[in-house]
Structure 1
Amino acid sequence: MAKIMVVDDDSNIRELVRLYLNDEGFEIVEKSNGMDALEYAENNTVDLVILDIMMPKLDGWALCKELRELGDIPILMITSKGEAQDKIKGFKLGTDDYLVKPFDPVELVLRVRALLKRYRIAASNVIKLGEIELDRKTYQVIYKDGSRVTIPMKEFELLYKLGSYTGQLFTRDHLIEQIWGMDYEGDERTVDVHIKRLRERFARFESDFKIVTIRGLGYRLEVYSH
Protein backbone atom coordinates (compact mmCIF):
# COMPACT_ATOMS: atom_id res chain seq x y z
CA MET A 1 0.00 0.00 0.00
CA ALA A 2 1.44 3.37 -1.03
CA LYS A 3 1.80 6.02 1.69
CA ILE A 4 0.76 9.51 0.59
CA MET A 5 1.42 12.67 2.60
CA VAL A 6 -1.14 15.45 2.17
CA VAL A 7 0.15 18.89 3.19
CA ASP A 8 -2.39 21.72 3.38
CA ASP A 9 -3.37 24.18 6.11
CA ASP A 10 -7.03 23.80 5.04
CA SER A 11 -8.48 20.86 6.99
CA ASN A 12 -11.41 20.58 4.56
CA ILE A 13 -9.07 20.04 1.61
CA ARG A 14 -7.08 17.46 3.57
CA GLU A 15 -10.27 15.61 4.49
CA LEU A 16 -11.54 15.62 0.90
CA VAL A 17 -8.24 14.25 -0.42
CA ARG A 18 -8.02 11.67 2.38
CA LEU A 19 -11.55 10.34 1.78
CA TYR A 20 -11.02 9.81 -1.93
CA LEU A 21 -7.54 8.32 -1.63
CA ASN A 22 -8.52 6.10 1.32
CA ASP A 23 -11.25 4.66 -0.88
CA GLU A 24 -8.54 3.75 -3.40
CA GLY A 25 -6.59 1.87 -0.74
CA PHE A 26 -3.86 4.43 -0.06
CA GLU A 27 -2.46 5.16 3.40
CA ILE A 28 -2.73 8.89 4.15
CA VAL A 29 -0.57 11.05 6.41
CA GLU A 30 -1.88 14.60 6.99
CA LYS A 31 0.25 17.66 7.79
CA SER A 32 -0.99 21.23 8.19
CA ASN A 33 2.27 23.07 7.45
CA GLY A 34 5.43 22.64 5.44
CA MET A 35 7.80 22.39 8.39
CA ASP A 36 5.98 19.43 9.96
CA ALA A 37 5.77 17.78 6.53
CA LEU A 38 9.51 18.15 5.92
CA GLU A 39 10.34 16.75 9.37
CA TYR A 40 8.10 13.74 8.69
CA ALA A 41 9.61 13.11 5.24
CA GLU A 42 13.13 13.26 6.69
CA ASN A 43 12.34 10.49 9.15
CA ASN A 44 9.78 8.33 7.34
CA THR A 45 9.26 6.71 3.95
CA VAL A 46 6.69 8.49 1.80
CA ASP A 47 5.65 7.29 -1.67
CA LEU A 48 4.06 10.54 -2.86
CA VAL A 49 3.45 14.07 -1.56
CA ILE A 50 0.43 16.26 -2.30
CA LEU A 51 1.07 19.84 -1.20
CA ASP A 52 -0.44 23.30 -1.22
CA ILE A 53 1.60 26.44 -1.96
CA MET A 54 0.30 28.96 0.57
CA MET A 55 1.10 27.42 3.98
CA PRO A 56 2.50 28.66 7.30
CA LYS A 57 6.09 28.09 8.52
CA LEU A 58 7.33 26.69 5.20
CA ASP A 59 5.42 27.35 1.97
CA GLY A 60 4.91 24.88 -0.87
CA TRP A 61 7.71 26.33 -2.99
CA ALA A 62 10.29 25.87 -0.23
CA LEU A 63 8.90 22.46 0.77
CA CYS A 64 9.06 21.22 -2.83
CA LYS A 65 12.72 22.30 -3.08
CA GLU A 66 13.60 20.60 0.24
CA LEU A 67 11.79 17.38 -0.72
CA ARG A 68 13.68 17.25 -4.01
CA GLU A 69 16.95 17.32 -2.07
CA LEU A 70 15.78 14.29 -0.07
CA GLY A 71 15.38 12.18 -3.21
CA ASP A 72 13.02 11.20 -6.00
CA ILE A 73 9.62 11.52 -4.31
CA PRO A 74 6.63 12.14 -6.63
CA ILE A 75 5.20 15.60 -5.88
CA LEU A 76 1.75 16.90 -6.85
CA MET A 77 0.96 20.56 -6.18
CA ILE A 78 -2.62 21.60 -5.44
CA THR A 79 -3.14 25.33 -5.26
CA SER A 80 -5.48 28.19 -5.96
CA LYS A 81 -2.72 29.86 -7.97
CA GLY A 82 -3.44 29.08 -11.61
CA GLU A 83 -1.23 31.60 -13.35
CA ALA A 84 1.25 30.23 -15.88
CA GLN A 85 4.26 31.70 -14.06
CA ASP A 86 3.30 29.83 -10.88
CA LYS A 87 3.15 26.54 -12.76
CA ILE A 88 6.52 27.25 -14.36
CA LYS A 89 8.02 28.05 -10.95
CA GLY A 90 6.59 24.80 -9.55
CA PHE A 91 8.04 22.69 -12.36
CA LYS A 92 11.43 24.40 -12.03
CA LEU A 93 11.49 23.59 -8.31
CA GLY A 94 10.76 19.94 -9.06
CA THR A 95 7.03 19.30 -8.85
CA ASP A 96 5.81 16.48 -11.10
CA ASP A 97 2.22 17.61 -11.61
CA TYR A 98 -0.10 20.50 -10.82
CA LEU A 99 -3.81 20.79 -9.96
CA VAL A 100 -5.65 24.10 -9.47
CA LYS A 101 -8.43 24.51 -6.89
CA PRO A 102 -11.29 23.80 -7.16
CA PHE A 103 -10.33 20.40 -8.53
CA ASP A 104 -12.21 17.23 -9.38
CA PRO A 105 -11.30 14.57 -6.77
CA VAL A 106 -11.61 11.85 -9.43
CA GLU A 107 -8.99 13.65 -11.55
CA LEU A 108 -6.78 13.86 -8.46
CA VAL A 109 -6.99 10.09 -7.99
CA LEU A 110 -6.11 9.48 -11.65
CA ARG A 111 -3.10 11.80 -11.47
CA VAL A 112 -1.87 10.16 -8.26
CA ARG A 113 -2.09 6.72 -9.87
CA ALA A 114 -0.28 7.96 -12.99
CA LEU A 115 2.54 9.49 -10.94
CA LEU A 116 3.03 6.35 -8.86
CA LYS A 117 3.08 4.21 -12.00
CA ARG A 118 5.62 6.51 -13.63
CA TYR A 119 7.93 6.32 -10.62
CA ARG A 120 7.62 2.53 -10.37
CA ILE A 121 8.75 2.26 -14.01
CA ALA A 122 11.68 4.54 -13.22
CA ALA A 123 12.76 2.27 -10.35
CA SER A 124 13.17 -0.73 -12.67
CA ASN A 125 16.39 -1.49 -14.54
CA VAL A 126 14.88 -1.89 -18.02
CA ILE A 127 12.58 0.54 -19.78
CA LYS A 128 10.95 0.17 -23.19
CA LEU A 129 10.71 2.98 -25.73
CA GLY A 130 8.81 1.69 -28.72
CA GLU A 131 10.99 -0.92 -30.42
CA ILE A 132 14.06 -0.38 -28.27
CA GLU A 133 14.87 -1.13 -24.63
CA LEU A 134 17.35 0.54 -22.29
CA ASP A 135 19.11 -1.82 -19.89
CA ARG A 136 20.54 0.10 -16.97
CA LYS A 137 22.46 -2.90 -15.63
CA THR A 138 24.65 -3.05 -18.73
CA TYR A 139 24.12 0.52 -19.98
CA GLN A 140 23.19 -0.89 -23.38
CA VAL A 141 20.47 -0.21 -25.93
CA ILE A 142 18.65 -3.39 -26.98
CA TYR A 143 17.06 -3.44 -30.43
CA LYS A 144 14.08 -5.47 -31.61
CA ASP A 145 16.33 -8.07 -33.32
CA GLY A 146 18.13 -8.70 -30.01
CA SER A 147 21.30 -6.83 -30.90
CA ARG A 148 22.86 -4.64 -28.21
CA VAL A 149 24.71 -1.36 -28.63
CA THR A 150 26.69 0.62 -26.07
CA ILE A 151 26.33 4.39 -26.32
CA PRO A 152 28.24 7.10 -24.39
CA MET A 153 27.42 6.98 -20.66
CA LYS A 154 25.96 10.47 -20.32
CA GLU A 155 23.79 10.01 -23.39
CA PHE A 156 22.47 6.76 -21.96
CA GLU A 157 21.78 8.29 -18.53
CA LEU A 158 20.05 11.28 -20.09
CA LEU A 159 17.81 9.14 -22.31
CA TYR A 160 17.12 6.74 -19.41
CA LYS A 161 16.08 9.62 -17.14
CA LEU A 162 13.75 11.15 -19.74
CA GLY A 163 12.39 7.72 -20.73
CA SER A 164 11.72 6.74 -17.14
CA TYR A 165 9.30 9.64 -16.72
CA THR A 166 7.65 9.88 -20.12
CA GLY A 167 5.63 13.05 -20.58
CA GLN A 168 7.31 14.79 -17.64
CA LEU A 169 9.08 18.10 -18.11
CA PHE A 170 12.71 18.31 -16.98
CA THR A 171 14.51 21.65 -16.78
CA ARG A 172 18.10 21.85 -17.99
CA ASP A 173 19.27 22.65 -14.45
CA HIS A 174 17.51 19.58 -13.07
CA LEU A 175 19.04 17.34 -15.74
CA ILE A 176 22.54 18.70 -15.09
CA GLU A 177 22.12 18.09 -11.36
CA GLN A 178 20.78 14.56 -11.92
CA ILE A 179 23.15 13.42 -14.69
CA TRP A 180 26.33 15.46 -14.29
CA GLY A 181 26.12 16.19 -10.55
CA MET A 182 25.83 19.34 -8.47
CA ASP A 183 29.58 20.02 -8.73
CA TYR A 184 29.53 20.19 -12.52
CA GLU A 185 31.08 23.49 -13.65
CA GLY A 186 29.87 23.50 -17.26
CA ASP A 187 26.75 25.27 -18.48
CA GLU A 188 23.33 24.07 -19.58
CA ARG A 189 24.44 24.01 -23.22
CA THR A 190 25.86 20.59 -22.36
CA VAL A 191 22.31 19.25 -22.09
CA ASP A 192 21.36 20.73 -25.47
CA VAL A 193 24.40 19.12 -27.13
CA HIS A 194 23.59 15.68 -25.69
CA ILE A 195 19.92 16.00 -26.66
CA LYS A 196 20.99 16.83 -30.23
CA ARG A 197 23.19 13.72 -30.33
CA LEU A 198 20.39 11.50 -29.01
CA ARG A 199 17.95 12.86 -31.60
CA GLU A 200 20.44 12.12 -34.38
CA ARG A 201 21.30 8.67 -33.00
CA PHE A 202 17.66 7.56 -32.73
CA ALA A 203 16.19 9.57 -35.63
CA ARG A 204 14.77 6.43 -37.27
CA PHE A 205 12.69 5.72 -34.16
CA GLU A 206 10.84 9.06 -34.22
CA SER A 207 7.54 7.25 -34.80
CA ASP A 208 8.11 5.44 -31.46
CA PHE A 209 9.45 8.21 -29.24
CA LYS A 210 10.65 11.78 -29.46
CA ILE A 211 12.46 14.23 -27.21
CA VAL A 212 10.42 17.43 -27.28
CA THR A 213 11.80 20.89 -26.48
CA ILE A 214 9.63 23.06 -24.22
CA ARG A 215 10.82 26.56 -25.05
CA GLY A 216 12.37 28.38 -22.12
CA LEU A 217 11.95 25.42 -19.78
CA GLY A 218 13.59 22.18 -20.85
CA TYR A 219 12.73 18.80 -22.36
CA ARG A 220 10.33 15.91 -22.12
CA LEU A 221 10.19 12.55 -23.86
CA GLU A 222 6.98 11.43 -25.54
CA VAL A 223 6.25 7.81 -26.47
CA TYR A 224 3.77 7.06 -29.26
CA SER A 225 1.62 3.95 -29.29
CA HIS A 226 0.81 2.23 -32.59
Structure 2
Amino acid sequence: MVEKNHVLVIEDDLDACELLAEYLDFEGFKVDTASSGVEGLNFLEKNQPDIVLLDIMMPQMNGLDVLKHIRIDSDVPVLMLTAKHEDMTKVMGFELGADDYLTKPYNPVELSARIKAILRRTSKAVTKSNAHLANLELIQARREVKVDGETVSLTATEYDLLEYLLFRPAQVVSKEELFQNVIGRKYESYDRTLDMHVSNLRKKIDAANVKLATCRGVGYELIELKNV
Protein backbone atom coordinates (compact mmCIF):
# COMPACT_ATOMS: atom_id res chain seq x y z
CA MET A 1 0.00 0.00 0.00
CA VAL A 2 1.37 3.40 -1.00
CA GLU A 3 1.78 5.75 1.96
CA LYS A 4 -0.21 8.95 1.66
CA ASN A 5 1.55 12.31 1.62
CA HIS A 6 0.95 14.10 4.92
CA VAL A 7 -0.37 17.68 4.85
CA LEU A 8 -0.67 19.97 7.88
CA VAL A 9 -3.16 22.82 7.44
CA ILE A 10 -2.75 25.78 9.83
CA GLU A 11 -5.87 27.91 9.39
CA ASP A 12 -7.96 29.76 11.98
CA ASP A 13 -11.16 29.84 9.85
CA LEU A 14 -12.66 26.56 11.04
CA ASP A 15 -15.20 26.26 8.22
CA ALA A 16 -12.58 26.91 5.55
CA CYS A 17 -10.18 24.54 7.27
CA GLU A 18 -12.77 21.74 7.39
CA LEU A 19 -13.66 22.15 3.72
CA LEU A 20 -10.02 22.18 2.71
CA ALA A 21 -9.27 19.09 4.79
CA GLU A 22 -12.20 17.23 3.22
CA TYR A 23 -11.05 18.13 -0.28
CA LEU A 24 -7.44 17.13 0.33
CA ASP A 25 -8.57 13.87 1.92
CA PHE A 26 -10.61 13.20 -1.23
CA GLU A 27 -7.49 13.93 -3.29
CA GLY A 28 -5.63 11.20 -1.43
CA PHE A 29 -3.66 13.14 1.18
CA LYS A 30 -3.38 12.41 4.87
CA VAL A 31 -4.52 15.66 6.51
CA ASP A 32 -4.09 17.14 9.98
CA THR A 33 -5.33 20.59 10.95
CA ALA A 34 -4.44 23.25 13.49
CA SER A 35 -6.64 26.25 14.23
CA SER A 36 -3.85 28.52 15.47
CA GLY A 37 -0.16 29.10 15.02
CA VAL A 38 0.64 27.80 18.49
CA GLU A 39 -1.33 24.62 17.85
CA GLY A 40 0.44 24.15 14.55
CA LEU A 41 3.90 24.55 16.09
CA ASN A 42 3.02 22.12 18.88
CA PHE A 43 1.98 19.59 16.24
CA LEU A 44 5.25 20.07 14.35
CA GLU A 45 7.29 19.39 17.49
CA LYS A 46 6.02 15.79 17.48
CA ASN A 47 5.23 15.12 13.82
CA GLN A 48 6.89 15.50 10.43
CA PRO A 49 4.34 16.28 7.71
CA ASP A 50 5.46 16.39 4.09
CA ILE A 51 4.14 19.94 3.60
CA VAL A 52 2.51 22.74 5.60
CA LEU A 53 -0.30 24.97 4.31
CA LEU A 54 -0.04 28.14 6.34
CA ASP A 55 -2.62 30.91 6.53
CA ILE A 56 -1.01 34.30 7.06
CA MET A 57 -3.78 36.31 8.71
CA MET A 58 -4.32 34.64 12.08
CA PRO A 59 -4.86 36.24 15.51
CA GLN A 60 -2.31 36.07 18.35
CA MET A 61 0.45 34.50 16.23
CA ASN A 62 0.28 35.32 12.53
CA GLY A 63 1.59 33.10 9.77
CA LEU A 64 4.88 34.97 9.39
CA ASP A 65 5.72 34.44 13.05
CA VAL A 66 4.81 30.77 12.70
CA LEU A 67 7.08 30.52 9.66
CA LYS A 68 9.98 32.07 11.60
CA HIS A 69 9.64 29.37 14.25
CA ILE A 70 9.33 26.58 11.68
CA ARG A 71 12.52 27.63 9.92
CA ILE A 72 14.58 27.54 13.12
CA ASP A 73 15.00 23.79 12.82
CA SER A 74 12.91 22.50 9.90
CA ASP A 75 13.06 22.68 6.11
CA VAL A 76 9.55 21.26 5.62
CA PRO A 77 7.99 22.85 2.52
CA VAL A 78 5.58 25.67 3.39
CA LEU A 79 2.88 26.98 1.06
CA MET A 80 1.42 30.29 2.23
CA LEU A 81 -2.26 31.15 1.87
CA THR A 82 -2.56 34.93 1.51
CA ALA A 83 -5.17 37.58 0.80
CA LYS A 84 -5.02 39.34 -2.57
CA HIS A 85 -3.78 42.67 -1.17
CA GLU A 86 -0.89 41.22 0.87
CA ASP A 87 1.93 41.69 -1.66
CA MET A 88 4.49 42.80 0.92
CA THR A 89 3.48 39.92 3.15
CA LYS A 90 4.27 37.53 0.30
CA VAL A 91 7.72 39.09 -0.08
CA MET A 92 8.36 38.78 3.65
CA GLY A 93 7.16 35.19 3.56
CA PHE A 94 9.66 34.28 0.86
CA GLU A 95 12.44 36.02 2.77
CA LEU A 96 11.55 33.95 5.83
CA GLY A 97 11.67 30.71 3.87
CA ALA A 98 8.26 30.02 2.32
CA ASP A 99 8.34 27.79 -0.75
CA ASP A 100 5.26 29.08 -2.57
CA TYR A 101 2.05 31.03 -2.04
CA LEU A 102 -1.53 30.96 -3.22
CA THR A 103 -3.89 33.93 -3.09
CA LYS A 104 -7.36 33.64 -1.57
CA PRO A 105 -9.92 32.89 -2.80
CA TYR A 106 -8.17 30.02 -4.52
CA ASN A 107 -9.33 27.16 -6.68
CA PRO A 108 -8.87 23.93 -4.69
CA VAL A 109 -7.82 22.16 -7.88
CA GLU A 110 -4.94 24.64 -8.27
CA LEU A 111 -4.05 24.24 -4.59
CA SER A 112 -3.85 20.48 -5.00
CA ALA A 113 -1.69 20.92 -8.10
CA ARG A 114 0.68 23.28 -6.25
CA ILE A 115 1.01 20.80 -3.37
CA LYS A 116 1.73 17.92 -5.74
CA ALA A 117 4.33 19.99 -7.63
CA ILE A 118 6.18 20.82 -4.41
CA LEU A 119 6.05 17.21 -3.24
CA ARG A 120 7.36 15.94 -6.58
CA ARG A 121 10.42 18.12 -6.15
CA THR A 122 11.07 17.23 -2.53
CA SER A 123 10.33 13.51 -2.82
CA LYS A 124 12.72 12.64 -5.64
CA ALA A 125 14.33 9.23 -5.55
CA VAL A 126 17.53 9.37 -3.51
CA THR A 127 20.67 9.29 -5.64
CA LYS A 128 24.37 9.06 -4.83
CA SER A 129 25.47 12.02 -6.96
CA ASN A 130 27.39 15.00 -5.66
CA ALA A 131 28.16 18.23 -7.48
CA HIS A 132 30.93 20.76 -6.90
CA LEU A 133 31.60 24.26 -8.14
CA ALA A 134 34.53 26.09 -6.56
CA ASN A 135 34.04 25.72 -2.77
CA LEU A 136 30.33 24.90 -3.12
CA GLU A 137 29.28 21.26 -2.71
CA LEU A 138 25.85 19.69 -3.16
CA ILE A 139 25.11 16.20 -1.81
CA GLN A 140 21.97 14.86 -3.47
CA ALA A 141 21.57 11.81 -1.25
CA ARG A 142 21.04 14.09 1.76
CA ARG A 143 19.71 17.18 -0.06
CA GLU A 144 22.54 19.03 1.63
CA VAL A 145 24.65 22.00 0.53
CA LYS A 146 28.04 22.98 1.94
CA VAL A 147 30.33 25.96 1.49
CA ASP A 148 33.91 25.35 2.61
CA GLY A 149 32.66 22.22 4.34
CA GLU A 150 30.04 24.07 6.38
CA THR A 151 26.38 23.18 5.87
CA VAL A 152 24.16 25.95 4.49
CA SER A 153 20.52 25.91 5.57
CA LEU A 154 18.22 26.12 2.53
CA THR A 155 14.51 25.74 2.06
CA ALA A 156 13.28 22.92 -0.18
CA THR A 157 12.78 25.28 -3.12
CA GLU A 158 16.12 27.03 -2.65
CA TYR A 159 17.84 23.65 -2.67
CA ASP A 160 15.99 22.57 -5.82
CA LEU A 161 16.90 25.82 -7.55
CA LEU A 162 20.58 25.50 -6.66
CA GLU A 163 20.64 21.84 -7.67
CA TYR A 164 19.11 22.61 -11.06
CA LEU A 165 21.64 25.38 -11.77
CA LEU A 166 24.63 23.55 -10.30
CA PHE A 167 24.26 20.71 -12.77
CA ARG A 168 24.24 23.32 -15.55
CA PRO A 169 27.24 25.53 -14.65
CA ALA A 170 27.95 28.57 -16.86
CA GLN A 171 24.74 27.89 -18.75
CA VAL A 172 21.95 30.45 -18.89
CA VAL A 173 18.73 28.77 -17.78
CA SER A 174 15.54 30.57 -18.75
CA LYS A 175 12.90 31.62 -16.27
CA GLU A 176 10.42 29.51 -18.20
CA GLU A 177 12.56 26.41 -17.68
CA LEU A 178 13.13 27.14 -13.99
CA PHE A 179 9.43 27.75 -13.35
CA GLN A 180 8.54 24.49 -15.06
CA ASN A 181 11.21 22.33 -13.40
CA VAL A 182 11.76 24.01 -10.02
CA ILE A 183 8.65 25.99 -9.12
CA GLY A 184 6.40 23.47 -10.84
CA ARG A 185 4.12 25.67 -12.89
CA LYS A 186 4.01 27.80 -16.03
CA TYR A 187 5.91 31.08 -16.00
CA GLU A 188 3.89 34.28 -15.86
CA SER A 189 5.71 37.59 -16.28
CA TYR A 190 4.08 39.15 -13.20
CA ASP A 191 5.02 36.25 -10.89
CA ARG A 192 7.96 37.20 -8.65
CA THR A 193 8.21 33.83 -6.93
CA LEU A 194 11.40 32.77 -8.72
CA ASP A 195 13.04 36.18 -8.26
CA MET A 196 12.48 36.02 -4.51
CA HIS A 197 13.96 32.54 -4.24
CA VAL A 198 16.99 33.65 -6.28
CA SER A 199 17.47 36.67 -4.00
CA ASN A 200 17.32 34.54 -0.86
CA LEU A 201 19.65 31.91 -2.31
CA ARG A 202 22.23 34.54 -3.21
CA LYS A 203 22.36 35.71 0.41
CA LYS A 204 22.78 32.18 1.72
CA ILE A 205 25.64 31.18 -0.61
CA ASP A 206 27.37 34.57 -0.38
CA ALA A 207 30.52 32.95 1.04
CA ALA A 208 30.83 30.62 -1.95
CA ASN A 209 33.21 31.46 -4.78
CA VAL A 210 30.35 31.38 -7.24
CA LYS A 211 27.98 33.96 -8.65
CA LEU A 212 24.29 33.43 -9.30
CA ALA A 213 24.15 35.81 -12.24
CA THR A 214 21.12 37.38 -13.90
CA CYS A 215 20.95 37.39 -17.67
CA ARG A 216 18.47 40.22 -18.05
CA GLY A 217 15.34 39.28 -19.90
CA VAL A 218 16.39 35.63 -20.15
CA GLY A 219 17.14 33.85 -16.89
CA TYR A 220 19.97 32.89 -14.53
CA GLU A 221 23.31 31.11 -14.55
CA LEU A 222 25.74 29.87 -11.92
CA ILE A 223 29.33 30.96 -12.57
CA GLU A 224 32.56 30.08 -10.78
CA LEU A 225 34.48 33.16 -9.67
CA LYS A 226 38.14 33.08 -10.63
CA ASN A 227 41.08 34.54 -8.69
CA VAL A 228 39.22 34.92 -5.38
TM-score category of the 2 structures, normalised to the smaller one: 0.5 to 0.7
For 1:211, which of 200, 203, 220 is the aligned residue? 220
TM-score, structure 2 normalization: 0.64
Distance 1:43 1:98, change over 3 A: same
- 1:147 — aligned with what? none
Contact 2:49–2:76, Cα closer than 8 Å, also in 1 = yes
2:56 and 2:62 in contact (8 A); partners too? yes
SS in 2 for 1:72: coil
- For 1:64, the equivalent position in structure 2 comes to 67
| Aligned length in residues | 172
The Cα of 1:117 is off from its aligned counterpart by 0.8
CA distance in 1 between counterparts of 2:61 and 2:198 reads 24
Secondary structure at the residue paired with 1:100? strand
CA distance in 2, matches of 1:125, 1:163: 16
* Residue matched to 2:34: 31
**Structure 1 115/164 Cα, relative in aligned 2: closer, same or farther at 3 Å?**
farther
> Percent same amino acid at aligned positions?
34
Rounded to whole Å, the distance in 2 between the matches of 1:62 and 1:56 is 11
Aligned to 2:134: 152
Partner Cα separation in structure 1 for residue 19 and residue 109 of structure 2 = 11
Does the aligned pair in 2 maintain the 1:6–1:49 contact within 8 Å?
yes
Match of 1:73 in 2: 76
The CA deviation string for residues 160-187 of structure 1, in whole angstroms up to 9 with x for no partner, is 652447235425455544x5xxxxxxxx
Amino acid at match of 2:197: F
> Do residues 6 (structure 1) and 35 (structure 2) align?
no
Q: Measure the CA separation in 1 of the matches of 2:76 and 2:112.
A: 17
Q: Structure 1 residues 58 and 47 mapped into 2: Cα distance closer, same or farther (>3 Å)? A: same
User: What corresponds to 1:195 in structure 2?
Assistant: 212
Partners of 2:57 and 2:63 within 8 A in 1: yes
How far has the Cα of 1:81 moved from its partner? 4.5
Q: 1:40 aligns with which of 40, 43, 49?
A: 43
- Are residues 1:124 and 2:129 paired? no
**Using a 3 Å threshold, how does the CA distance of structure 1 residues 212 and 160 change in structure 2: closer, same or farther?**
same
Given the alignment of the two structures, is residue 90 of structure 1 paired with residue 99 of structure 2, yes or no? no
What is the deviation of 1:104? 0.5
Match of 1:170 in 2: 197
TM-score when normalising by structure 1: 0.65
What are the ranges of 5 or more consecutive residues in structure 1 without an aligned counterpart?
127-134, 141-150, 180-187, 204-208, 214-226
Q: Secondary structure at the match of 1:9?
A: coil
Range that drifts further, 33-42 or 70-79? 70-79
Unaligned runs of at least 5 residues, structure 2: 139-144, 147-157, 165-181, 184-193, 223-228
- Offset at residue 28 of structure 1 (A): 0.6
Deviation of 1:103 (Å)? 0.8
Deviation at 1:120, TM superposition (A): 1.4
Q: CA RMSD in A?
A: 3.2
- Deviation per CA, 1:48-98: give whole Å up to 9, x if none: 100111113321001111112222111111122533212111111111111
